[in-house]
Amino acid sequence: METTVVIPSNLSAAHEAEKALLDAVAQCRYSEAATFAIKLAVEEGMNNAIKHGNRFDAAKKVTLTYKVGQDRTVITIADEGPGFHPSALPDPTADENLEKPTGRGVMLMNAYMDEVAYNDKGNQVRMVKNNT
């Protein structure tokens, strides 16, 4: 069953939505590694939507859609911002970027999820994690 939650652009609301998703993951008894990955990636995705997509604009919403199955979880996060080009992001693991305090969220999502894809505009991301 697919669940959709629409939240305002604040981190407390995001936290509540993430918790509901993680409760569903726990009910399906995902591995610790998969659970850790989903928690990390969904938090990064939601934070990016709020901070960078919607720029904390209270009038803009974030839509979290998820389907948690026994074998895999599919998550979509959409914001109402102008979008961006993920390929244009600097590599946070490059020597010159290592000590920058920001810029690691997308990289972590890519590292921990099995599939990550953005829409053309760049204001919606779809992520998949297999329960392995």
Partner 1 sequence: MDQEHPRLSVTQQGDVTVVKLADRKILDEASIAQIGDRLQGLVDKQPDPRMVLDFSDVGHMSSSALGMLIRLNKRVREKKGRLRLCGIQKPIYEVFVITRLNEIFDITETPDEAVRSLS
| Residues at the contact surface with partner 1, assessed by CB under 8 A | 11-12, 14-15, 32-33, 36, 39-40, 43-44, 47, 92-93, 98-105, 107-108, 111
Using the minimum distance from each CB to partner 1, give the nearer residue, 11 or 67: 11
Phi, psi dihedrals of residue 110, rounded to the nearest 5°: -65, -35
Using the minimum distance from each CB to partner 1, give the nearer residue, 42 or 68: 42
Nearest distance from C-beta of residue 45 to partner 1, angstroms:
11
β-bridge mates for residue 8, sequence order: 61
Using the minimum distance from each CB to partner 1, give the nearer residue, 6 or 36: 36
Using the minimum distance from each CB to partner 1, give the nearer residue, 44 or 79: 44
Strands 2-8 and 61-68 turn out to be: antiparallel
Q: Dihedral of CA 71/37/93/48: which sign?
A: positive
Nearest distance from C-beta of residue 49 to partner 1, angstroms:
12
Strands (E), 1-132: 2-8, 61-68, 72-78, 115-118, 124-130
